[in-house]
Amino acid sequence: MRIIVILGRVLDPSGIVVKGSAGRIFVNREEYLIQPADACALEAALRIKDGMAAEVVALPRSPLPDDDILRQAIARGADRAIYLTGPALKAADEAAMTGVLTAAIERLGGADLVLIGSTTLDTGQGQLGLRLAEALGGAQITGAWQVSSADGQVQAVLQRNGRYVAVEADPPVVVTLLPGALKLRYPDGVRLINVYRGVGEVGDALEAWDAADLVDEAALTPLVESRGKEFAPERERGVRASGTPAEMAQAAADALRQRMRR
Amino acid sequence: MDFTFSPEHIALRRMIREFAENEVAPIAAEIDRDHQVPMETMRKLGQVGLLGVCFPQEYGGMGAGEMGYCILMEEINRVCTSTGTNVGAHIGIGAMAIYLDGNDEQKRRYLIPLARGEQFAAFGLTESGAGSDAAAIRTRAVREGDSWILDGGKVFITNGGYADVVTVMAVTDPALGARGGITAFIVETDWEGFKVAREEDKMGIRGTSTAELVFEELRVPHENVLGKVGEGFVTFMKSLDMGRLTLGAACIGGAEMALESAVRWAKTRRQFGAELASKQAIQWKIADIATELEALRSLVYRVAWLVDTGQPFGQLAAMCKLYGSEVASRAIDIALQIHGGLGFSRDFPLERGFRDARIGEIYEGTSEVQRIVIASNIFREHGVRIRP
């Protein structure tokens, strides 16, 4: 069984301080993590591999400036990771990435199961899984808590209307995992050191593929073109009230009255 | 000069921090309160490879060198000094003695399970009459055929209550003393004649085992002599050099915890209509901790680099331990002062940190002994021999 895991990265929120009074975001430590929902997808893949013969291959969900999260995936147990590179990939949006990933999966010999996070922490985008299912011509299961495989089928547990529902589908299947569904295992120490040193068995597990070799340039043209940035006007700062609850309520009412008069 | 960490060491730090925050920090207060060694956590550390962080991969280790080991000690001690002490006694001195002077067979037999956390190690040096004066030990080992018979005992042995393997220093020729008359042995704790006599009830690092060990006609096979007969004192001193460096790294973690707590509290606590952070008295205290912490970090990681590149480091390791333990104590003292009454409360981790930090100036060579080591090295270079 070949399991493809799609991984993205996000700035570690614990390294960021949002200072409302200064109107600024301070980045104290610029460190990137695997997107939390994608981390659940990786753990789901590794758990399936723990119980049956399977190959887990990690691919990036968007253009990455470096291959760090792919090395992290190998350290945690992925068999292979493909770092997609090339200047043409820089502006790729979800539509373009769908094309590149579909071609990469094809080059790998296809996939029985594609696992990806249902959403991303920074942009909240959740389209890639759905697009991939469409492009690969397989079934899709969205928002799973658990994924398993038995008898040549893929099983998943979802939560619908406050109840857990078990579903299954024939491969190829794309399953999106909810953030927090599973706790990602720790890296194995030896794999971690070797994958960063590029030595031993895992030293060859990371490959770099040029996107231009996978799809033609037209397929990499983003659907959406950015023509600049515009922000909403800055909001007026609120009023800080202190004192007894009655005094604070009075201050809030006075502030509202003044604002309405304006 | 390049002061950057390699990508593998950055990744290793991230892994250890993740482990420490998830597995060690949540139980730190509990193991202190209940005086319990966190055995499950220790086993998990072994399962992910961290208990063999500095040993070669052929002996079950990770192969991350002394730099990797210092990162481990810093990150674990940042959240729990007890767990850091258990790890340090296991890797830094217990298993380290086997790694430094064990033969290939001994390393395969003992180091591999120790690196995987399947077994745990302790370092048997201190005796009731031999603390700072390590050469004054009285535990005797007498050759009898293919074995040695050990009689005597050790005190204040970290990990002593649960270790599977203890490296023990014993007198094999009283006439020669430390200069050829002391031998190191690898002792398995389930052998007849080995007994854990008592556990110490300590002021700090209460999530550790500090035990008194008794050897009564303990038969040790000759193949378990560590290094050469008569050269055990050198083996143990080499192990202590390594341990002193990593205790310095442990102190970075303790001081970091203090600084982070102090800054966090100074930002939130308001007195006289403003945050504590706006008061110069507080700012200067925090500046002092941060400056000493950075100086310590530079010293420790430079010495780790010396070890990994095969250069002499003994005197500098003593400086790491001396300066590190005193910086950590000062940092926690200052952080506690900034917290005021809450710092004194058991509801806050600084009270535990304050009790835990004190041992840093005592174990594995007191601050006074470190000063002797440093001064002896300096004067030796000038042709003067100092006797303690």
- Average pLDDT of chain A, as a whole number: 91
> pLDDT tens for residues B233-292?
999 999 999 999 999 999 999 999 999 999 999 999 999 999 999 999 999 999 999 999
How far apart, in Å, are the Cα atoms of B57 and each of B5, B14, B98?
21, 20, 15
| φ/ψ of residue B214, rounded to 5 | -125, 135
Burial category of B355 from C-beta neighbours within 10 Å (exposed 0-12, middle 13-18, buried 19 and up): middle
Residue A20 clears pLDDT 80, i.e. is over it: no
d(CA A29, CA B264): 16
Count of CB atoms within 10 A of residue B131's CB?
17
* Inter-chain touch B63–A196, beta carbons under 8 Å: no
Residue B12 clears pLDDT 90, i.e. is over it: yes
Q: How far apart are the CA of A51 and the nearest CA of chain B, in angstroms?
A: 19
Residue A192 forms contact with B (CB below 8 Å): yes
Per-residue pLDDT at A236:
76
- Using pLDDT thresholds of 50, 70 and 90, give the confidence band for residue A43: very high
Residue A22 clears pLDDT 80, i.e. is over it: no
Residue B388 clears pLDDT 90, i.e. is over it: no
Residue B19 forms contact with A (CB below 8 Å): yes
Query: Which among B41, B48, B69, B270 is the top mutation candidate for probing chain A, defined by the most A β-carbons within 10 Å of its own β-carbon?
Result: B48
Strands B210-221 and B147-158, by their bridges, are antiparallel
High-pLDDT (> 90) share of chain B, %:
94
d(CA A110, CA A103): 9
3-state SS, A204-256, equals: CCEEEEEHHHCCCHHHHCCCCCCCCCCCCCCCCCCCCCCCCHHHHHHHHHHHH
Q: Show the beta-strand stretches assigned E in A43-118.
A: 55-60, 80-85, 113-117
Per-residue pLDDT at B171:
96
* Inter-chain touch A190–B49, beta carbons under 8 Å: yes
B68 interaction partners in chain A (CB closer than 8 Å): 193
B contact residues 33-62, partner A, Cβ 8 Å cutoff: 48-50, 52-53, 57, 62
Residue B208 clears pLDDT 90, i.e. is over it: yes
Query: Which among B4, B16, B45, B57 is the top mutation candidate for probing chain A, defined by the most A β-carbons within 10 Å of its own β-carbon?
Result: B57
How far apart, in Å, are the Cα atoms of A189 and each of A35, A195, B16, B19, B305?
21, 10, 10, 12, 20
Per-residue pLDDT at B152:
97
B62 interaction partners in chain A (CB closer than 8 Å): 189-190, 192-193
Query: Which among B62, B268, B308 is the top mutation candidate for probing chain A, defined by the most A β-carbons within 10 Å of its own β-carbon?
Result: B62
Q: Which residues pair with A32 in a beta bridge?
A: A11
| A79: helix, strand or coil | coil
- Using pLDDT thresholds of 50, 70 and 90, give the confidence band for residue A14: confident
Query: Which among B9, B12, B22, B54 is the top mutation candidate for probing chain A, defined by the most A β-carbons within 10 Å of its own β-carbon?
Result: B12
Q: How far apart are the CA of A131 and the nearest CA of chain B, in angstroms?
A: 32
**What mean pLDDT do residues B361-388 have?**
91
A188 interaction partners in chain B (CB closer than 8 Å): 48-49
B11 interaction partners in chain A (CB closer than 8 Å): 68, 71-72, 75, 187, 192, 196
B14 interaction partners in chain A (CB closer than 8 Å): 31
Q: How far apart are the CA of A104 and the nearest CA of chain B, in angstroms?
A: 27
d(CA B260, CA B255): 9
| A170: helix, strand or coil | coil
Q: What angle do CA B6, B9, B10 make, to 5 degrees?
A: 85
Of the ranges A159-163, B28-32, B100-104, which one carries the lowest mean pLDDT score? A159-163
**What mean pLDDT do residues A117-143 have?**
90
**What mean pLDDT do residues A214-236 have?**
83
d(CA A85, CA A65): 9
High-pLDDT (> 70) share of chain B, %:
100
d(CA B51, CA B34): 24
- Closest B-chain CA to A183: B22
Tokens 């909001």, residue located? A235
Residue B135 forms contact with A (CB below 8 Å): no
A36 interaction partners in chain B (CB closer than 8 Å): none
Per-residue pLDDT at A231:
85
d(CA B5, CA B12): 10
Q: B208 or A30: whose pLDDT is higher?
A: B208
Q: How far apart are the CA of A130 and the nearest CA of chain B, in angstroms?
A: 31
- Using pLDDT thresholds of 50, 70 and 90, give the confidence band for residue B135: confident
**What mean pLDDT do residues A205-226 have?**
88
B48 interaction partners in chain A (CB closer than 8 Å): 186-189
Per-residue pLDDT at A18:
83
d(CA B37, CA B39): 6
| Every domain of chain A and the residues it spans | 2-12+25-220, 231-262
Residue B25 forms contact with A (CB below 8 Å): no
Q: How far apart are the CA of B22 and the nearest CA of chain A, in angstroms?
A: 10
> Domain A2-12+25-220: which CATH class?
alpha beta
Q: Of the candidates A68, A187, A200, which has its C-beta nearest B15's C-beta?
A: A187
Q: Which residues pair with B188 in a beta bridge?
A: B165
d(CA A138, CA A113): 9
Q: How far apart are the CA of A259 and the nearest CA of chain B, in angstroms?
A: 28
**What mean pLDDT do residues B95-115 have?**
97
3-state helix vs strand vs coil in chain A, percent to 5: 35, 30, 35
Residue B87 forms contact with A (CB below 8 Å): no
- Which of A34, A26, A88, A40 minimizes the C-alpha distance to A63? A88
Inter-chain contacts counted by CB atoms under 8 A, chains A and B: 47
Q: How far apart are the CA of A196 and the nearest CA of chain B, in angstroms?
A: 5
Per-residue pLDDT at A23:
77
**What mean pLDDT do residues B31-59 have?**
97
**What mean pLDDT do residues A26-41 have?**
91
d(CA A176, CA A146): 10
**What mean pLDDT do residues A103-117 have?**
96
- Using pLDDT thresholds of 50, 70 and 90, give the confidence band for residue A232: confident
- Closest B-chain CA to A73: B11
- Closest A-chain CA to B48: A188
> pLDDT tens for residues A67-107?
999 999 999 999 999 999 998 888 888 899 999 999 999 99
**What mean pLDDT do residues B171-177 have?**
93
Sorted by where each starts, the structural domains of chain B and their CATH numbers stand as: 7-120 (1.10.540.10), 122-230 (2.40.110.10), 234-380 (1.20.140.10)
Return the structure tokens found at A46. Answer: 């590794």
* Inter-chain touch A196–B6, beta carbons under 8 Å: yes
Per-residue pLDDT at B177:
85
Residue A121 clears pLDDT 90, i.e. is over it: no
ipTM score of complex: 0.91
- Using pLDDT thresholds of 50, 70 and 90, give the confidence band for residue B205: very high
Per-residue pLDDT at A172:
93
DSSP string, B215-250: EEEEEEEGGGEESSTTBHHHHHHHHHHHHHHHHHHH
| φ/ψ of residue A218, rounded to 5 | -60, -35
* Inter-chain touch B49–A197, beta carbons under 8 Å: no
Identify whether the C-beta of residue B107 lies closer than 8 Å to the C-beta of residue B99: yes
Per-residue pLDDT at B13:
96
- Closest B-chain CA to A67: B7
**Residues of B with catalytic function:** 364
* Inter-chain touch B63–A193, beta carbons under 8 Å: yes
> pLDDT tens for residues B142-155?
999 999 999 999 99
**What mean pLDDT do residues A198-221 have?**
91
